[in-house]
Amino acid sequence: MSTSPGVIQSSGGRTKFVIGGAILLGAVALLIIVNLVGQQEYFITVDEMLARREALTGRRARVSGVVIGETIAYDGQTLSFEIAHIPSSAAALEAGGGLAQVLHDTASDPNAARLRVVLFDYPMRDDLRGEAQAIVTGALGEDGVFYADELMLRCPSRYEEALPEQAEPAGG
């Protein structure tokens, strides 16, 4: 009995298809895993940045902190300000009275760890003010300044509970 060449070819074609499919699925799975791992640490805190200064100098990072209002400076091209450490865990924020309270308390604390942030060729933003939460993306320079190219802000007023409206006295 002899096997026809078509049967062997068909079997070899299936094998190539299965191997190609497995490679493709493996590549997709790898991309998904790399993307998920990259998103796990959305940002680091000011304390973490300062503690890991040597390892992180020159490396791209995302840092979160509260804006210190009196440090905001803008010369028409360069925007600079300082951010202070705020905890990243929900439990620590809750223990501190909520995000708005933590932002306020930290911005008022002269002993809170701080990081100077500079953005070149960046417009002044209306929502950049003291006690706002800033998330900056960039790299720490050799001089200890964080040179950012992205800035996201959260205003503390978003976290304050709306006050109930006052009821007018009856007959008044």
pLDDT at residue 148 in the model: 94
pLDDT for residue 59 is more than 60 = yes
Rounded Cα distance, 12 and 131, in Å: 66
pLDDT for residue 154 is more than 70 = yes
Rounded Cα distance, 65 and 128, in Å: 13
**pTM strictly above 0.75:** no
What's the average model confidence in pLDDT over 94-114? 87
Which residues contact residue 123 at a Cβ distance below 8 angstroms, ignoring those fewer than 6 apart?
Answer: 79
pLDDT for residue 171 is more than 60 = no
> Domain limits of the chain?
1-40, 44-159
Three-class DSSP category at 129 = coil
Indicate the burial class of 49 (C-beta count within 10 angstroms; 0-12, 13-18, 19 or more): buried
pLDDT at residue 164 in the model: 34
Indicate the burial class of 90 (C-beta count within 10 angstroms; 0-12, 13-18, 19 or more): exposed
Q: What kind of fold does domain 44-159 have according to CATH?
A: OB fold (Dihydrolipoamide Acetyltransferase, E2P) (2.40.50)
- Residue 70: name the closest of 56, 60, 81 by CA: 81
Residues 102/96, Cβ–Cβ less than 8 Å: yes
What digits encode the pLDDT tens for the residues 14-25? Answer: 888 888 888 888
